[in-house]
Amino acid sequence: MGKLFCLACREELSTKKSILKMHTKSAKHAKGKEVLNSKQKRELTIVEALQRHDKVKRPIGDTLPASTRVFRVQVVSAFLKAGIPLYKIDKLRGILESGGYSLSHSTHLRQLIPFILNEEMDILRQQLSGKCISIIFDGTTHVAEAFVVVVRYVDSEWVISQKVVQLLLLSKSLCGEEVARLLADVLSTKVGGPTKNIVAAMRDRASVNSVAMEQYMYCTTECSKSVACHIHWIMLVKR
């Protein structure tokens, strides 16, 4: 006798009526349907985003089937999130293509990175919409300047979350006014939303950061708290 295949649970099923009834009523099947629906919604979102992207610029591979393009975006996203260099896709291409979708060389797949970044920032802006957030920023002066901006917020599940919204590698350190301008640009273009939603800013006690916060708070007048690093404060007390 033939068999049926459940897409939600990713397993073969008998055609026996009683078994099918038991399967469709199981908690495993219900959970599988939720995951499948979420996956389909996410893929549809990627398709719509690719269509918008194609109107702005004509990327390589824009004539490929939508399913193939979605697969490539998902593969590159997975490698980026796992911190795996994209050139290793070429070594794993055989197994990755076993599902029936094709990839291209990693040099071509790298062109998807700006698109994926824009989509991630759009998702973050949606998550931050209407929420009160705090910002954390700092830079280093060792060898080269690495400047980072992080947002911290409470998500819809009441879990404290934080995301890196900007990481810059600079040839020289920034002055206070430059840091203030960079913060304003990052928060307006990367985060979006009204400045009144920014309830606090946290930084260390370096004079550059203090000047930056004075400048930023003078311009926006809506960031209610400027919080200096307590660890640095304790170190100063010890001295």
CB 108 within 8 A of CB 61: yes
pLDDT band of 18, cuts 50, 70, 90:
confident
Half-sphere exposure of 228 (CA within 13 A, CB side): 14
109: pLDDT strictly greater than 70: yes
**Nearest residue to 109 via CA among 93, 132, 133:** 93
Most confident of 41-45, 79-83, 119-123, 136-140: 79-83
Predicted local confidence at residue 89, as pLDDT: 94
Domain 129-238 has CATH 3.30.470.10: no
Q: What's the rounded Cα separation, in Å, for the pair 80 and 3?
A: 38
Of the pLDDT bands very low, low, confident and very high (cuts 50, 70, 90), residue 238 is: low
- Tokens standing for 225? 């708290």
218 has pLDDT over 70: no
Please tell me the predicted confidence (pLDDT) of residue 177. 84
pLDDT at 232: 54
**Nearest residue to 162 (alpha-carbon basis) of 141, 188, 133, 183:** 133
Gap between the Cα atoms of 114 and 226, Å rounded:
33
User: How far is 236 from 182, CA to CA, in rounded Å?
Assistant: 28
Q: Which range has the top average pLDDT, 10-14, 82-86, 126-130?
A: 82-86
Lowest mean pLDDT among 7-16, 22-31, 39-48, 226-235: 226-235
CA dist 23 and 156 (Å) reads 32
What digits encode the pLDDT tens for the residues 186-201? 877 777 755 667 777 8
Closest CA to 43 of 60, 61, 68: 68
Task: State the Cα–Cα distance between residues 226 and 203, nearest whole angstrom.
Answer: 8
pTM listed for this prediction: 0.68
pLDDT band at 142 (very low <50, low <70, confident <90, very high): low
The pair of structure tokens assigned to 32 is 């599988």
- Helix, strand, or coil (residue 185): helix
**Pick from 164, 102, 109: which is nearest to 138 by CA?**
164
Domain boundaries, the chain: 1-56, 69-124, 129-238
- Regarding predicted confidence, which is higher, 145 or 73? 73
Its sign, for the CA torsion 27, 29, 32, 38, is: negative
CA distance 120 to 129: 14
**Contacts with 89 (C-beta within 8 Å, 6 or more apart), sequence order:** 75, 76, 79, 96, 103, 106, 109
Which residue carries 């990839």 as its tokens? 103
Chain-centroid distance, C-alpha 96 = 23
Query: What is the per-residue pLDDT for 90?
Result: 94
Predicted pLDDT of residue 122:
84
What sign does the dihedral 202-194-113-101 (CA atoms) show? positive
Q: What is the DSSP letter of 237?
A: H
Question: How many residues can be counted in the chain?
Answer: 239
